[in-house]
Amino acid sequence: MDGLFLQILNGLDKGGAYALIALGLTLVFGTLGVVNFAHGALFMLGAFCAVALQRIFATSYQAVSETKKDFLGNPLKEDVPYIQDWFGPDVAAFLMDWSVPMSILLAVPVMALIGVIMERGLIKHFYNRPHADQILVTFGLAIVVQEIIKHYFGANPIPQPAPDIVAGAANVGAWVGLGENVVYPWWRLVYFGFSAAVIFGVFAFLQFTNFGMVVRAGMQDREMVSMLGINIQRRFTIVFGLAAVVAGVAGAMYTPTLPPDYHIGMDFLVLSFVVVVVGGMGSLGGAVLAGFLLGVLQSFASMNEVKSILPGIDQIIVYLIAVIVLLTLPRGLLGRKGVMEE
């Protein structure tokens, strides 16, 4: 029972990340009709917003130590962060400790800007092109972005610790009357709450604002909305920016869970596409539902008890579920009629 409960938590945590990426993918596909393979790169760029903020805080000058030596035996040049001189060691330590949550403040404008530039500068030229062209150009863009990040930040993962206050694991077992071995990392619980809040925020934005109403109408019938005198294209550009922001903040907040490297977006991308397809192309609810469902099933499939009966199932479960869903529900779990159907 303890193991099962932990795997449910794992699945929800993993599913949160899948759902956030799939949500952005679905928003872009539902509004612009573009299959965006660069979406994983947006997640990665968000993660590197956290890395960049940490680097900004750590920007230093070098002071020659009188006592310490470097690896060559020369006097050690110690890095002294400017923020330490400007604000004192306590404030500097606080800023470094909270750099990941604070990076959201950097990620939101940066990712919105990147999203809008990407849409206006490249994606819009492919609206009326076949999906294969869109996939090729966005996949190419993703590789270019990856290589740029690798050039500046290297290929190795870069550790991004969570704030001390949420370091370590929570005794979740005591909360729900299970054993003391049922512990779960605080940061993963924070991430799950964060994912839920972002998903709720996006749905509320689309459901309860005039802007959202127009976007939803545009997703249903773009021509009709245009004929009503609404500049739907401008709104869709903003939606692309919103999708970039969702992917970006998801990436930034994910960094304490796994140290980011230039490839982290690609690691998620394929799975997220499976999530979108299983959820139903263009269905926001379907993307979220499939994200959590596949996350939980992937975790269950990794249990030793399951693997002893079905060896290797943990490596194929997501694709197996995709096959079963598409055979029984060709439009996915919550797919709409007419989407991606000629």
Q: Binding segment for another protein among 33-41, 111-119, 121-129, 294-302 (CB under 8 A)?
A: 294-302
Phi, psi (rounded to 5 degrees) for 183: -120, 155
| Torsion angle defined by CA atoms of residues 135, 237, 283 and 217, in that order, rounded to the nearest 10 degrees | -140
The helix/strand/coil state of 11 is helix
The CA R_g of the chain, rounded to the nearest whole Å, is: 22
Confirm or reject binding of residue 13 to another protein (CB under 8 A).
yes
Candidate list 14, 42, 46, 202; residue touching another protein; CB under 8 A: 14
Shortest approach of another protein to residue 168 CB, angstroms?
6
Cα–Cα distance measured from residue 35 to residue 226, given in angstroms and rounded to the nearest whole number:
22
Closer to another protein by CB, 233 or 302: give it.
302
Query: What single string gives the DSSP state of each residue in 15-67?
Result: HHHHHHHHHHHHHHHHHH----TTHHHHHHHHHHHHHHHHHHHT-EEEEEEEE
Shortest approach of another protein to residue 327 CB, angstroms?
25
Closer to another protein by CB, 87 or 153: give it.
153
Phi, psi (rounded to 5 degrees) for 229: 90, 15
Query: What single string gives the DSSP state of each residue in 148-170?
Result: HHHHHH-SS----PPPGGG-SEE
Cα–Cα distance measured from residue 229 to residue 23, given in angstroms and rounded to the nearest whole number:
28
Candidate list 48, 126, 187, 191; residue touching another protein; CB under 8 A: 187
Confirm or reject binding of residue 188 to another protein (CB under 8 A).
yes
User: Judged by CB under 8 A, how many residues of this single chain contact another protein?
Assistant: 46
Confirm or reject binding of residue 184 to another protein (CB under 8 A).
yes
Shortest approach of another protein to residue 274 CB, angstroms?
14
* Secondary element (H or E) of residue 312: none
Candidate list 76, 122, 135, 333; residue touching another protein; CB under 8 A: 76
3-state helix, strand, coil in the chain (%, to 5): 70, 5, 25
Candidate list 116, 136, 230, 303; residue touching another protein; CB under 8 A: 303
Closer to another protein by CB, 7 or 283: give it.
7
Confirm or reject binding of residue 164 to another protein (CB under 8 A).
no
Cα–Cα distance measured from residue 234 to residue 116, given in angstroms and rounded to the nearest whole number:
10
Per-residue x/- mask for another protein, residues 43 to 72, rule CB under 8 A? -------------------------x-xxx
Confirm or reject binding of residue 315 to another protein (CB under 8 A).
yes
Closer to another protein by CB, 7 or 237: give it.
7
How far CA 21 is from CA of 55, 59, 65, 311, in Å, comes to: 25, 31, 46, 29
Q: Site residues (CB under 8 A) for another protein?
A: 2-3, 6-7, 10-11, 13-14, 68, 70-72, 76, 150, 154-159, 161, 168-169, 179, 181-185, 187-188, 257-259, 261, 263, 267-268, 298-299, 302-304, 307, 314-315
